[in-house]
Chain A
C-alpha cells in the first residue's frame, strides 16, 4: 500500500498530493517533485522512438533508501506518482499497475465532471475515497 499518491499536471505542478499523516509531508512533496526528472526523461525517450504507441505505466522510477517511487503518464501527459515504503516487499508490479489503473479511471471521472475546470486542483470526494483505499491505513499500523 502506498504512503503517498500524487497527480501532477502536464505543466508539472501538483493537482493532488496525499501522503500518510504520520510522516513528514514536505519530504514526500520533495520526493514526488524530484521523481519528475525521471518521468520527463522517460517521456522524452519514448517520444523519440515510437510516437503514440506508448505504455502509460513507467514502472519504478528510482529507488531511495526508504521508498520506491512508481510513475504513470496519461496520454494527456498528466502524471501519477505512487510512493511505496521500501520495506513493503510484498507488493508486486501487477498490484502497482492495477492501483494506477484505478487511479486513472477515477481521474477520468473527475475530468468528466462538467463543474471541474481542468488544470485546477482536484477536489472530489470520490477521488479522495479511491486514494484513501490505496493508502496505508494508518490506524492499523499504529
Chain B
C-alpha cells in the first residue's frame, strides 16, 4: 500500500486515442522510412486525427487473445476491472496494423515481391489470431502514380496483390515517395482513422453481445465491467457523447453492487475512476455544472461508505484524492478557457482534499499510537506489486467474489494496519497536505478571497509546525497575523500566536519568543488568566537569561531538543541586547506621549508627558525610559532611569505618567519639535536587556480604534467624563509634535488714520509704538506696506512712502521692509507716519510689523528673544468726482463731506460741421484737490477725468408742441405745434396725423406747406380723449420732400409721445353715488 495507491492510473487520466501499429519500417537505417515516420509523428496538432502511432517489427507478438467463452453459466468474475485492461487497449492491441512495403508497379521482380509481401501479411495475421484488428498494406513507391484508371498495369497488379494478400481494395494504399510526403501522409492517416473507427465499433458490438448471457445474481460485476469497456471503446472511437452515457450507466451500476467490508475498497476505487471519467468528459463538453453536480452526487453517495471503522483512515485518504483530482480537472478546464467564480472555484476542492488528508493523518497517528503497544509477531509482507484487479488487497486477490467472506478477518485488519503504520512512519503526510493547501491558496488568491487565503496559510503554518519545520511555520504565521490584527479578530489572533509561540519556543528563537509572549499578555489576547500568568513567568525568566518552561502541547521528544537549544542560546553572552519595534503589535505595555500644548513660547519650558500602562497580570518593572525627539539635543532631558537597585514598576491596569520638561533653543523658534520615538528597557544588563521601542508618540495596532470608540462614548457621556477626574486611557490623545513660537511681545502698536482713503491721495497712517518691557528693547524695526499675497495688481497700484511732502511716483515700493526705529527704553513711546498712495480703487490690507530683540532668562538660562508685533489695517479707497474747467468753476473752494456729491454744468457750443465725421471730443476735466484736514503745505492732488465724445447731427427744422400737462376724458384738449425753419432756405414740409384709438381730433389731417427762412408755422389740433390713463397721442408725421437726407425720426424726438388723461369729474361723482 504505497502512497501512490491512491494516484489515478495514467491510462485513466490520458485522452484515449486510436492505436495504430506501423510495421515494415526500418526507422534506424533507412532514410526514406525515417522520413515517413517523422511525417507521422511530428507536428501532431489538434487539426490532425487523434491516433497514437507506434512502430513495431513485422513479427511483433501481440497480446494473445483468450479463447472466447461460449457460456457464462459457471463463470464467477473475480473483480470489476483488470488493472491491465486499459493499457492493453491503449498501447498493446492495435486497431489497425499497417504493413509498409517498397514495391513499384513496374518492378522487374514483381512476382517474387508480391509473394514476399503476402507472407509478411500472413505473419501479422497469425500473431493477431482471434482479434478483430484490421490489416492494411502501404506500398512505398519511387514514382509518382498516374491518375486512377490510366495506368492499366497498376490496376491489374493491385488486384492480384489484393488477392494474394487476402486484402480488400480499400486496405491497399500507395505512398509515392516524392516532394509532397506530408500531404500523402495526412491522407493516409485519415484512411487509417476510418479503419480504426470501424474496429472500435465492432469491439463495442462484441462487448454488448455478452449481455444476453449474464444474470443478475452472479454477474453483477460484469455489468459494470462491460459498461465501462463500452464507454472506453467509445472514447477511443472519439464518440464522447456516447462514452459519457455509458460511463453514467456504469456509475449507477457500481452503486447497485452489494457492498460489504471486503469489496468496499474495490467499489470505491471503481466509482472514483468512473466519476473521474464522467467529470472529465463533462468539462470537455463545456458543461461544468454537470461535472460539479456529478461530483457532488459522487461525494454524497460515497461519503458514508467508510467500511470497517478501523479503515476510516483509508476512506479519508480516498476522499482526499477524489477532491484533489476533481480540483485538478476543474483547474485544467479553467486553463482551457472556462471561467470560475468566487464561490465555485478549484480552491474549495483543494481545501477539502487537504481537510481529508488532515483527518487521515490524525486517524493514522491514533492507529500508530495504539499499534505501538499491541504485540504482533507477524512480519510485514512486502509483496505489493502486480494487482490483478483495481481496488483489491494484494493478498486477497481474486477472492472478492460475493460468495466468500462478508467481513474482514482479523488477519486482514492487522495487515492493513501494519502497512499503514509503516507508511505513516516512513512518509510524513504533511508534505501532501501542504501541497494541497498551497494549491488552494493560489486559487483563492485568484478569486479574491483574502480571508480564505489567510485561513489556509494558517493551516499550512500548522502543518509545517507538525512537520517540525518551525522556520517556515513562523514565516507563514507571521505573515497572516497582521491581517487578523488589523481586522481585530482577537480570538483567531490568539490562536495563531499560541502556535507561533510554540514554534518560537521549540526553535529557541529568543526575539520571536519575547514578541509573541508580549502580544499574548496584551489586551488583545483572549487567553485565560492562568495562561497569562504562566507566560509572564516565562517572559521574566527569559529576561533573566534563564530557560523558560516548556509550552504545553509540545511533545516530549522535541521539548528535549528545544531545551538544549535554549541552553546553548543562554550560554552565548554576546547577544543579550534586543530592540523590538512594538508599534505594529499589541504589546502588553502600552505607551502614549503628548506635549501638553500644540505650541510653546520660546521663553516657556516645554512640557512633555509619557503615559505607560501594563495589561499583564503581574506588576512589571522596567529600568529605563527614554524619549527621542527630532532635535536630538533635547533627548538628554527626556530620560528616566532606575537608580541603583530600585526598579520602576507598572501595576496591572494602572496608568503611570512621567513628566519631562526642557527649554527650547532660540534657533528653534518657528520650528516643530517632533517625537521620533520612545524606548522602554525591560530586564537588566546582568540578564538580558530588551528595548521596547515605539515610533512617534506611541500607540499600537489597536489604539486608533480604541481612541475612536472612546471619543464616541465620551461625546455621549461628556459631562460624566469631565466630572470623573480619573484618567481614561483610551481617550488619552497623543500630541506628537509641538511648535516653538517666539516670545509674546510686550509692546503696543497702535494705528490711527481717517478712512476712507481716496484715490491718488497721500493717505497718512499714524503709527504709535510703546514699549511695556522691563528692559531695553533693542533694534526695533518696522515693516510697513501692502500685505503680501493679495491680488498682484494691487502691488503695482499701491505705493508706500515715509515722506508725505510730495506725491510719490511709480518707483515707490508697495512694502517698506525693516525700517530701523532705534532702541526703545521701558515705557518709551515712538510715533511714525506712513503715507500710502493708491492709483486704483478697491480695498487693500496693509501690514505693520514691529520686531525687536530683548534679553531674558528662563529657568536660569539667559536667552535672547526676538519679538514681533503685527497689526493689520484694511483700507477702502474711493474716487472723487468734481469738475474744474479752464473757465471759472462753480465748485471752486467747495468742501465736500463724506457721501456728498458735487456736480457742475457747462454750456458747450459746437463748431460748424467741418467734415463728414460727426463726432466731437469734448476734452478733459481736471480737478486739483486736497483733504480738508491736511496742512496747507501738503501737495495738491490732480485728478483727470476724460469727457465723453458727442455725436452731432444737423436738423433743418425745429418743432415743439405746446400742450397742457394733462387732459380729461371727453373734454377737449388743444395742442399747438410750432414748426420753425432755422435754415437759410425755404423748406417744404408735409405733415399728416395718424388716427389713434384713444383720441378723436379735429384739425388738418394732411397738409403741405412752405416755411420761409427764419420764420415759423403753427398748427393747432383739438384732441378729444376717449380713455383715461397714459395715452399715446396721435402721431404727427413730418417729412421734407426736398431734403431727403433728414431723418424724420430725429424730428419725432422733439415731439411729446404721451399724455395723461384724467377721469371726468362728473363720471367720478356718478361712480361714488353707485357704490
Q: Of B299, B492, B712, which one neighbours A117 at CB under 8 angstroms?
A: B712
In contact, B488 and A33 (Cβ under 8 angstroms) = no
Stretch at the interface among A9-17, A76-84, A128-136: A9-17
B771 in contact (CB, < 8 A): no
A2 in contact (CB, < 8 A): no
| A33 to B450 alpha-carbon distance, docked (Å) | 10
Chain B residues within 8 Å of A11, by CB = 487-488, 705
Q: Closest B residue to A17 by CB, please name it.
A: B491
A98 in contact (CB, < 8 A): no
| A18 to B488 alpha-carbon distance, docked (Å) | 17
Chain B residues within 8 Å of A38, by CB = 342-343, 449
| A30 to B495 alpha-carbon distance, docked (Å) | 11
In contact, A37 and B449 (Cβ under 8 angstroms) = yes
Chain B residues within 8 Å of A26, by CB = 491-492, 495
A65 in contact (CB, < 8 A): yes
Chain A residues within 8 Å of B455, by CB = 30, 33-34
Chain A residues within 8 Å of B1005, by CB = none
User: Which of under 10, 10 to 19, 20 to 34, or 35 or more describes the interface residues of B?
Assistant: 20 to 34
In contact, A119 and B487 (Cβ under 8 angstroms) = no
Q: Which DSSP category, helix, strand, loop or mixed, fits chain B's interface?
A: helix
A101 to chain B, nearest CB (A): 24
Q: Which DSSP category, helix, strand, loop or mixed, fits chain A's interface?
A: mixed
| A41 to B343 alpha-carbon distance, docked (Å) | 10
Q: Of B355, B450, B712, B716, which one neighbours A37 at CB under 8 angstroms?
A: B450
B448 to chain A, nearest CB (A): 6
A47 in contact (CB, < 8 A): no
Interface string of B484-506 (1 = CB under 8 A from A): 00011101100100000000000
A-facing residues in B439-458 (Cβ within 8 Å): 448-452, 455, 458
Query: How many residues on A have C-beta within 8 angstroms of the other chain's C-beta atoms?
Result: 24
B1032 in contact (CB, < 8 A): no
B525 to chain A, nearest CB (A): 14
| A64 to B452 alpha-carbon distance, docked (Å) | 12
Q: Of A25, A34, A114, A120, which one neighbours B451 at CB under 8 angstroms?
A: A34
> Quick one: given A33-B492, A34-B452, A36-B451, are A120 and B343 in contact (CB under 8 Å)?
no
Q: Of B352, B487, B495, which one neighbours A13 at CB under 8 angstroms?
A: B487
A78 to chain B, nearest CB (A): 14
Q: Of B449, B488, B708, B709, which one neighbours A34 at CB under 8 angstroms?
A: B449
| A86 to B452 alpha-carbon distance, docked (Å) | 19
| A26 to B493 alpha-carbon distance, docked (Å) | 11
A61 in contact (CB, < 8 A): yes
> Quick one: given A13-B487, A33-B451, A33-B489, are A119 and B343 in contact (CB under 8 Å)?
no
In contact, A37 and B487 (Cβ under 8 angstroms) = no
A29 in contact (CB, < 8 A): yes
Interface string of A53-90 (1 = CB under 8 A from B): 00000000110110000000000000000000000000
Q: Closest A residue to B450 by CB, please name it.
A: A37
> Quick one: given A117-B716, A118-B712, A119-B709, are A29 and B343 in contact (CB under 8 Å)?
no
> Quick one: given A37-B450, A65-B355, A119-B712, are A12 and B487 in contact (CB under 8 Å)?
yes
In contact, B488 and A13 (Cβ under 8 angstroms) = yes
Q: Of A12, A37, A64, A65, which one neighbours B448 at CB under 8 angstroms?
A: A37
In contact, A117 and B713 (Cβ under 8 angstroms) = yes
Q: Of A29, A34, A36, A117, which one neighbours B491 at CB under 8 angstroms?
A: A29
Q: Closest A residue to B323 by CB, please name it.
A: A65
Chain A residues within 8 Å of B705, by CB = 11
| A17 to B705 alpha-carbon distance, docked (Å) | 20
Chain A residues within 8 Å of B451, by CB = 33-34, 36-37
In this complex, the member of B348, B355, B451 whose beta carbon has the largest number of chain A beta carbons within 10 angstroms is B451
B298 to chain A, nearest CB (A): 13
A-facing residues in B338-355 (Cβ within 8 Å): 342-343, 348, 352, 355
Q: Closest B residue to A62 by CB, please name it.
A: B343
Chain B residues within 8 Å of A62, by CB = 343, 348
A139 to chain B, nearest CB (A): 25
| A136 to B941 alpha-carbon distance, docked (Å) | 99
Q: Closest B residue to A45 by CB, please name it.
A: B342
Chain B residues within 8 Å of A118, by CB = 712
Interface string of B315-359 (1 = CB under 8 A from A): 000000000000000000000000000110000100010010000
B351 to chain A, nearest CB (A): 9
A-facing residues in B350-402 (Cβ within 8 Å): 352, 355
Chain A residues within 8 Å of B449, by CB = 34, 37-38
B586 to chain A, nearest CB (A): 13
In contact, B709 and A37 (Cβ under 8 angstroms) = no
Chain A residues within 8 Å of B712, by CB = 117-119
Chain A residues within 8 Å of B355, by CB = 65
A100 to chain B, nearest CB (A): 19
In contact, A13 and B489 (Cβ under 8 angstroms) = yes
Q: Closest A residue to B444 by CB, please name it.
A: A37
Q: Closest B residue to A37 by CB, please name it.
A: B449
Chain A residues within 8 Å of B452, by CB = 34, 37
> Quick one: given A37-B450, A38-B342, are A14 and B709 in contact (CB under 8 Å)?
no
| A119 to B708 alpha-carbon distance, docked (Å) | 9
Q: Of B458, B489, B709, which one neighbours A120 at CB under 8 angstroms?
A: B709
B826 to chain A, nearest CB (A): 57
Q: Closest B residue to A31 by CB, please name it.
A: B455
Interface string of B694-712 (1 = CB under 8 A from A): 0000000000010011001
Q: Of A25, A33, A36, A117, which one neighbours B709 at CB under 8 angstroms?
A: A117
Q: Of B342, B352, B458, which one neighbours A65 at CB under 8 angstroms?
A: B352
| A116 to B709 alpha-carbon distance, docked (Å) | 11
In contact, B489 and A14 (Cβ under 8 angstroms) = yes
Q: Closest A residue to B351 by CB, please name it.
A: A64
Chain A residues within 8 Å of B489, by CB = 13-14, 29, 33
Chain B residues within 8 Å of A119, by CB = 708-709, 712
B-facing residues in A82-138 (Cβ within 8 Å): 114, 117-120
| A12 to B487 alpha-carbon distance, docked (Å) | 6
| A25 to B448 alpha-carbon distance, docked (Å) | 26
| A52 to B713 alpha-carbon distance, docked (Å) | 29
| A14 to B450 alpha-carbon distance, docked (Å) | 17
B-facing residues in A1-49 (Cβ within 8 Å): 11-14, 17, 25-26, 29-30, 33-34, 36-38, 41
Interface string of B445-479 (1 = CB under 8 A from A): 00011111001001000000000000000000000
> Quick one: given A65-B352, A117-B716, are A37 and B342 in contact (CB under 8 Å)?
yes
| A33 to B455 alpha-carbon distance, docked (Å) | 9
A-facing residues in B588-625 (Cβ within 8 Å): none
Chain B residues within 8 Å of A114, by CB = 716
Chain B residues within 8 Å of A117, by CB = 709, 712-713, 716
B907 to chain A, nearest CB (A): 75
A41 to chain B, nearest CB (A): 5
A5 to chain B, nearest CB (A): 15
Chain A residues within 8 Å of B450, by CB = 37
Chain B residues within 8 Å of A61, by CB = 343
Q: Closest B residue to A41 by CB, please name it.
A: B342
| A23 to B698 alpha-carbon distance, docked (Å) | 40
| A88 to B451 alpha-carbon distance, docked (Å) | 26
Q: Closest A residue to B496 by CB, please name it.
A: A26
| A95 to B550 alpha-carbon distance, docked (Å) | 50
| A12 to B486 alpha-carbon distance, docked (Å) | 10
| A117 to B449 alpha-carbon distance, docked (Å) | 31
Chain B residues within 8 Å of A65, by CB = 299, 352, 355
In contact, B492 and A29 (Cβ under 8 angstroms) = yes
Chain A residues within 8 Å of B348, by CB = 62, 64
10 extra interface residue pairs, beta carbon distance < 8 Å, beyond A13-B487, A62-B348: A11-B488, A12-B487, A25-B491, A26-B491, A33-B489, A37-B342, A37-B449, A37-B450, A38-B342, A117-B709
19 contacts between A and B (CB under 8 A): A11-B487, A13-B489, A14-B489, A25-B491, A26-B495, A34-B449, A36-B451, A37-B451, A38-B342, A38-B449, A61-B343, A62-B343, A62-B348, A64-B348, A65-B299, A65-B352, A65-B355, A118-B712, A120-B709
Which 9 A/B pairs are nearest by Cβ-Cβ distance? A13-B488, A37-B449, A117-B713, A34-B452, A62-B343, A34-B451, A37-B451, A30-B455, A34-B455
